Amino acid sequence: MKVILLEDVVGAGRAGDVVEVASGYARNKLLPSGIAIEANNTNMKTLEHRRAKIAAKKTADKEMAQILADQLDGKQVGFTAKAGESGKLFGSITAHDIAEAVKENLGFELDRRKFLLDAPLKEVGLHEVRYRIYPEVEAIVKVRIAADGAPVPEETLPVEEGPKDTYSDEILDAEEGETLHTYEAPKAAEEPAPAEQAEAAAEEEPAEAAAEEEAEG
């Protein structure tokens, strides 16, 4: 089915283009949402007029986008996160996180999908993230990530949960003297306290004396 696009559609064309699309896609999505109109004789006759209106709207949209870009460009937001000794994060900062931080701290409502991130940020430091507001109009948002507290040794393994009566023991490399990991081991049997030992001895003495008297008699 041929339609006239009134807005840019990814994979189909730009606003003002006459394109062929699947009938179901046109009738269920493009036409009801006002993104396109059917390319019939009436609409084709007014296409040039429509193209002029579309061009004017594009110009206005681009100007508004440039205003936002000028206001946003170079602004900075900050995060703190757990990180290893090399600066690698135990987790990551996503486009969604950045959009939320910008909204909370700078007051800009941004679309997370317009951040040009190949992958979430996973290292401490200052990152420059591109934000595409409109075709050919972009701003740079600076994202500073700091380590939360002391660096976490990256070779540290999580301690497994063991029985209630446990103690932590460190396994050492005999040659290097470095901690390889920690584990939970059962607690050794406790020695009786000195007071308990004295009490037990006092109870045993009369019994021993009686046994000796019987042996002599």
Is residue 171, in this structure, part of any structural domain at all?
yes
pLDDT in tens, 100-111: 999 999 999 999
Would you place residue 79 in the very low, low, confident or very high pLDDT band (cuts 50, 70, 90)?
very high
Does some domain include residue 64? yes
Domain co-membership, 81 together with 65: no
When divided into structural domains, the chain yields a total of 3
Q: Is 164 a residue whose pLDDT tops 70?
A: no
| Predicted local confidence at residue 157, as pLDDT | 32
pLDDT at 148: 86
Q: Does 92 lie in the same domain as 58?
A: no
User: Across the strands, what pairs with 181?
Assistant: 171
**DSSP letter, residue 113:** G
217 in any annotated domain:
no
% of the chain residues with pLDDT over 70: 69
Q: Calculate the average pLDDT of the chain.
A: 77
Q: Are residues 78 and 64 in the same domain?
A: no
Which residue range forms the structural domain that includes residue 63?
2-70
Taking the C-alpha atoms of residue 46 and residue 194, their distance in angstroms, rounded to an integer, is: 104
Beta strands in the chain (DSSP E): 2-5, 18-20, 36-38, 76-81, 88-93, 121-123, 125-134, 137-147, 166-172, 179-186
pLDDT surpassing 90 at residue 74: yes
Residues 186 and 164 in one domain: yes
Helix, strand or coil, per DSSP, at residue 31: coil
**Residue 211 included in any domain:** no
The pLDDT, as a whole number, for residue 50 is 80
Domain annotation covers residue 142: yes
- Note whether 57 and 78 are same-domain residues: no
Q: Which residue has the higher pLDDT, 10 or 196?
A: 10
**Residue 162 sits in the same domain as residue 143:** no
Q: How far apart, in whole angstroms, are the C-alpha atoms of residue 117 and residue 152? A: 26
What pLDDT score was predicted for residue 183? 27
Does residue 128 sit in the same domain as residue 181?
Answer: no
At which residue do the structure tokens 């029985």 appear?
A: 163
Domain boundary among 125, 147, 169: 147
Indicate whether 49 belongs to any domain: yes
The answer to whether 99 and 79 are in contact (CB under 8 A) is no
pLDDT at 185: 32
| CATH of residue 135 | 3.10.430.100
Decide if 215 is inside a domain. Answer: no
Asked if the model's pLDDT at residue 187 lies above 50, the reply is no
Nearest to 82 by CA among 71, 72, 73, 93: 93
Q: Could you read off the pLDDT of 126-163 as tens digits, one per residue?
A: 999 999 999 899 999 999 999 987 665 655 434 334 33
Above 80 in pLDDT, residue 1? yes
Same domain, 139 and 182: no
The last residue of a domain, from among 121, 147, 173: 147
Are both 76 and 129 inside the same structural domain? Answer: yes
* Domain boundary pick from 20, 47, 70: 70
For residue 169, what are the β-bridge partners? 183
- For the chain, percent of residues with pLDDT exceeding 90: 50
Question: 132 with 98, same domain?
Answer: yes
Residue spans of beta strands (DSSP E) within 82-135: 88-93, 121-123, 125-134
Residues 59 and 94 in one domain: no
**215 pLDDT above the threshold of 60:** no
Which segment of 38-52, 60-74, 194-208 scores lowest on mean pLDDT? 194-208
Average pLDDT for 194-213? 52
